[in-house]
Amino acid sequence: MKSGLDYRNKLILAPMVRVGTLPMRLLSLEYGADLVYTEEIIDWKLLRAERHTNEVLGTVDYIDTTDGTVVFRTCPVERERVILQIGTASVERAVAVGKLVQQDVAAIDVNMGCPKDFSIKGGMGVALLYDLPRAKAILEALVQAVTIPVTCKIRVMPDPDETVQLARELQSTGISAIGVHGRTKTERPRDPVNEDAIARVATALHIPVIANGGSQSITRRHDVIKFTQRCSTTSAMVARAAEWNCSVFRPDGPLPLDDVIRRYLELSVRYDNSPSNTKYCVQMMLRSLQETPIGRRLLDSQTMQQICDIWDMGEYCRETQLRYHYAGIKGRRACRPRTLSVSDETGKDGSEPAASKKQCIEEVEPSEPLIEENICFIRSNFTDDKELPKSKLYLHAIRGGLPRAQYEVEQKDKLFRAIIRFDGQRYTSSFWEKNKRYAEQAAALVCLLTRGVESRDELIRNGAMLPAKKPTDGESCLESSIAESISVQHTMISASNLDFKEEGKSC
């Protein structure tokens, strides 16, 4: 039996890529949104993730075990009000995702409105509107397979009659509601929203219709309500207006932007949001203010610590990150390739484990030891290319009359590690990088550290290494570990900056 979720008379945070992550969803609910959508998550990303209960944060995390990426994070605060939007073109994958996540979300939405090329080429998003049999099959299968409501979000067609007929066909699958963005697949936010087309759909259907696309006329909650009235709906979802200032949902009117940013940062630190995602969302809030001194400071920031310092929240960030670190929170430094992360026990099918949990690139001959340090390469630490670790090691070799270093790189899943052969020794980092270049640079840092060219204290200070031990009795935990806290933040930004897909707005 389906759980109940009433989509009538609701003000909703629309799905937005890179914006609809946990801190923004929670802040929107706090300010008065009734429901919140996640950013669109592609089905296969969820299917290759593992569900973990994060006891430190009090969250449920879906983790891509090949690179440590948090694909989806949620918490009990939003459990009954969060709708997971998926991008899919497959009945089988859609159903598998639905069964996987239904215990953690209030409903599932299928994206049938994204006009981006990456979505259309995969048969997802707005492409489904032009493949009605597939669209209906996905919705029908989901409705039958899960115990929570299923919805979809579409764009209007150039012909209003065609839009109404399409919406009726989708309604027949048993979905609980439908979101309608009042622009066609070729129109963009600067184009006027077709409120009449939304109204025609709302009048023709018996399920709730959620109006979308009115941000140009929305600056406060009352504007959202007027938008629903013009569209003959009782509910609306807000994208860009909420992205700019999500206190737009407040009954008492929006708050000053600095207040919103501070509260957003507080939630981002509280829920260990990635620095790059946090930075992006704050940039979207600042808009034209990115050219101000504060905006330029944000542009130059690389860590959560640096972002929070701009709004006088640095101490809160340091203390929270330090507490999480010693509580055992796992970050990129805990990431291992899947082939090196299996249990030491035999598998359920009786097969032998692929490898032990201990990291190793290969079996090392006793006569050829491998010198290893847990060092990551953070590109923002090197403003001058001549100071890059590989360049520095090359000059070190020339000055010492030594042969050039030789690099060997191993890839497992989506991660990379390198071995350097230099002056009769081998060097590597135990930190798995997300591309070959960074792996080589990290290994070069290990070599430079071992040979005394780089300082351990400096590497700890700039976040490339963690301190070797916790503070001793009598030491100030904060004083002795501030570098460790910063290091954790640098590590997160170096990992999370690399593979965001093209940003988009509400589809």
Judged against a pLDDT cut of 60, whether residue 123 lies above it is answered with: yes
Q: What separation, in Å, do the N-terminal and C-terminal C-alpha atoms of the chain show?
A: 30
Q: In b/e form, how buried is each residue of 449-479, taking b as 16+ CB within 10 angstroms?
A: bebeebeeeebbebbbbbeeeeeeeeeeeee
- Choice among 75, 114, 231, 317 that is catalytic: 114
* Residue 491 near residue 434 (C-beta atoms within 8 A): no
Judged against a pLDDT cut of 50, whether residue 469 lies above it is answered with: no
Cα dihedral: 216, 84, 504, 381 (round 10): 120
CA distances from 257 to 14, 225, 243, 262 (A): 20, 22, 11, 9
Residue with token string 């031990």: 469
Average pLDDT for 135-158: 98
* Residue 287 near residue 241 (C-beta atoms within 8 A): no
Helices (H), 48-131: 91-101, 117-121
DSSP state of 51: E
Give the E-state strand segments of 362-456 in sequence order.
370-373, 406-412, 415-422, 425-429
Judged against a pLDDT cut of 50, whether residue 479 lies above it is answered with: no
**Strands lying side by side in the sheet with 370-373:** 370-373, 425-429, 415-422, 406-412
What is the band of 52 on the pLDDT scale with cuts at 50, 70, 90?
very high
The pLDDT value recorded for residue 432 is 86
Average pLDDT for 68-92: 96
CA distances from 379 to 164, 273, 301 (A): 52, 20, 13
Identify the weakest region by mean pLDDT among 128-137, 243-252, 443-452, 464-473: 464-473
323-340, pLDDT tens digit by residue? 886 676 755 555 566 555
Judged against a pLDDT cut of 60, whether residue 105 lies above it is answered with: yes
The pLDDT value recorded for residue 56 is 92
Task: Between 310 and 364, name the one with better pLDDT.
Answer: 310
Q: Are strands 59-64 and 49-54 parallel, antiparallel or unpaired?
A: antiparallel
What is the band of 497 on the pLDDT scale with cuts at 50, 70, 90?
very low
Judged against a pLDDT cut of 70, whether residue 189 lies above it is answered with: yes
Based on the residue annotation, tell me whether 231 is a catalytic residue of this protein. no
Cβ-defined contacts of 185-194 (< 8 Å, 24+): 185/113, 185/115, 185/126, 185/129, 185/155, 186/115, 189/215, 189/216, 189/240, 189/505, 192/216, 194/156, 194/160
The model's pTM is 0.75
Judged against a pLDDT cut of 90, whether residue 272 lies above it is answered with: yes
What is the band of 492 on the pLDDT scale with cuts at 50, 70, 90?
very low
CA distances from 345 to 219, 254, 334, 362, 476 (A): 58, 56, 20, 21, 41
What are the phi and psi torsion angles at 416 (to 5°)?
-135, 145
CA distances from 116 to 5, 120, 134, 507 (A): 30, 6, 19, 8
What is the band of 449 on the pLDDT scale with cuts at 50, 70, 90?
very high
373-425, pLDDT tens digit by residue? 988 887 767 878 889 999 999 999 999 999 999 999 998 877 899 999 999 99
What is the band of 275 on the pLDDT scale with cuts at 50, 70, 90?
confident
What's at 109, amino acid-wise?
D
Residue 382, C-beta contacts closer than 8 angstroms, at least 6 positions apart: 388, 389
Tokens of 472: 């001793």
Average pLDDT value over all residues in the chain: 86
Tokens of 352: 């032998």
Tokens of 439: 């792996």
CA distances from 415 to 137, 410, 411, 434, 454 (A): 36, 8, 6, 5, 25
CA distances from 476 to 35, 95, 473 (A): 43, 52, 8
The pLDDT value recorded for residue 475 is 40
Judged against a pLDDT cut of 70, whether residue 166 lies above it is answered with: yes
Task: Between 496 and 193, name the one with better pLDDT.
Answer: 193
- Tell me what percent of the residues of the chain surpass a pLDDT of 90: 69
What CA–CA distance (Å, rounded) separates 273 from 22? 8
What is the band of 435 on the pLDDT scale with cuts at 50, 70, 90?
confident
Average pLDDT for 443-450: 97
The pLDDT value recorded for residue 431 is 86
Judged against a pLDDT cut of 90, whether residue 465 lies above it is answered with: no
Judged against a pLDDT cut of 70, whether residue 507 lies above it is answered with: no
What CA–CA distance (Å, rounded) separates 118 from 111? 13
Residue with token string 């009795």: 473
